[in-house]
Amino acid sequence: MARVSVEGIVKRYGTVAALDEVSLDFEDGGLFALLGPSGSGKTTLLRAIAGFVFPDRGRIRIGDQPVERVPVEKRDIGMMFQNYALFPNMSVADNVGFGLRVRKVGAAEERRRVGEALELVQLEGFGGRKPHELSGGQRQRVALARAIVTNPRVLLLDEPLSALDKALRVDMQFELRRIQREIGITTILVTHDQEEALTLSDRIGILRDGRLVQAGPPREVYNAPADLFAATFLGEANILPGGGAGIVVPEGVAPGAVLAVRPEAIAMTRTEPEGAGLSKCVGVLERRVFAGAMATCLVRREDGGEMKVVSRDQDIPAGLTEGDRLWLSWPVDKTLAIPPEG
């Protein structure tokens, strides 16, 4: 296991900078999610750490070893690909054992470690099957077993769950987390799914246009987004009108900062709520969408702005229907103060 750090990485394709001065530390044993829209550079960063992309500038270290000039096959990493990339001509056991055979560990040792790895991903007894005989979730587990069986220093995951359907994906997220904790391997995950990033990782990094927007623990990034992009990409945010009546501005907010509030932080009441440090405004319920345990409401403020509120069904005032007037309120410490751009 090892910590990974990148420092001032630049990678250009023609005039486009896929990575523009990105610096990040990936702690030993942690699970780090790189999050961003497509074209943000997250995959390029992962492939630079893997060694498929050689940066124009900057440093990459795995453990204490600078690896910018080290080819992929000498980096001692494990990687899982979006389409799993299992070798179709080999059995499950041969797939998982491939890295061990390349390292010439010997037949007995290989059999033992392949068995352990398959057990870890709960696929004991599947060694003799061919990849095309497995379901999507099983292929996924084989790919994971193959990636970790060599005890690599780092595990890189490139959108590993995107090919699975929703129920299986949630299962695999927990499974992945369990296995990652169990072997304590430094793991870097690329995803465009913010929910996946939030549930899986110890830390996340948000990228946009080849630059790192913000990095930190999910809760911290969620509660204190560094800019408007981070606020809206990770979760949703209602942007509040500057200095609107009834909105309490938190102390120590930089001038020019944008105020926002998360949809789930807002309470809805029929009458004006009482209490100190409470921001409030009046609006009209435009739409109410039932979605199981939670309901999403769209409220038109008196100044014309729209607010999204996500609330448990039973927390919504009884009998509230579309067209009703209501109060929105939230405590001042739930108000996000987003620093101005630049």
Partner 1 sequence: MLARLGKVWLGLILVFLYAPILVMAAMSFNASPYYQLPFEFTVEWYEKLSENRGILRAAARSVGIAMVTTVIATVLGTAASLALFRYEFRGKAVLRVLLFPPIAIPWLITGTAMLVFFFGIGLGRGTPAVIVGHVALALPYVIVVVTARLATFDPTLEEAARVLGAGGWTVTRRVTLPWIAPGIIAGALFAFAISFDQFVVSYFLSEPGDSTLPVVIYTAIRKGFTPEINAVSTLIIVVSMAVMLVAARFSNFGGER
Query: Which of the stretches 7-15, 81-89, 108-116, 163-171 binds partner 1 when contact is defined by CB under 8 A?
Result: 81-89
DSSP letter for each residue of 129-158: S-GGGS-HHHHHHHHHHHHHTT--SEEEEE
Query: Which of the stretches 65-73, 167-175, 260-268, 277-285 binds partner 1 when contact is defined by CB under 8 A?
Result: 65-73
Nearer to partner 1, 143 or 237 (CB): 143
In whole angstroms, what is the distance from residue 136 CA to residue 142 CA?
10
Give the β-pairing of 57-62 and 4-13.
Answer: antiparallel
Question: What is the CB neighbour count within 10 angstroms for residue 15?
Answer: 5
For residue 16, the minimal CB distance to partner 1 (Å) is 17
For residue 185, the minimal CB distance to partner 1 (Å) is 14
Query: Which of the stretches 145-153, 186-194, 246-254, 293-301 binds partner 1 when contact is defined by CB under 8 A?
Result: 145-153
Q: Residue 287 has which token pair? A: 């739409």
Q: How many residues bind partner 1 (CB under 8 A)?
A: 25
Q: Does residue 214 bind partner 1 (CB under 8 A)?
A: no
Nearer to partner 1, 70 or 282 (CB): 70
Q: What DSSP element (H or E) covers 291? A: strand 278-291
Nearer to partner 1, 98 or 126 (CB): 98
In whole angstroms, what is the distance from residue 43 CA to residue 28 CA?
21
Residues 88-117 that bind partner 1 (CB under 8 A): 88-89, 98-99, 102-103
Closest CA to 273 of 320, 324, 332, 328: 328
Q: Does residue 72 bind partner 1 (CB under 8 A)?
A: yes
Q: Does residue 132 bind partner 1 (CB under 8 A)?
A: no
Q: What is the DSSP letter of 290?
A: E
**Which ranges of the chain would DSSP assign to H, the alpha helix?**
42-50, 92-102, 107-120, 136-148, 166-183, 194-200, 218-223, 228-233
Nearer to partner 1, 105 or 170 (CB): 105
For residue 337, the minimal CB distance to partner 1 (Å) is 43
Chain contacts with partner 1 (rule: CB under 8 A): 50, 52, 71-79, 81, 83, 85-89, 98-99, 102-103, 146-147, 150
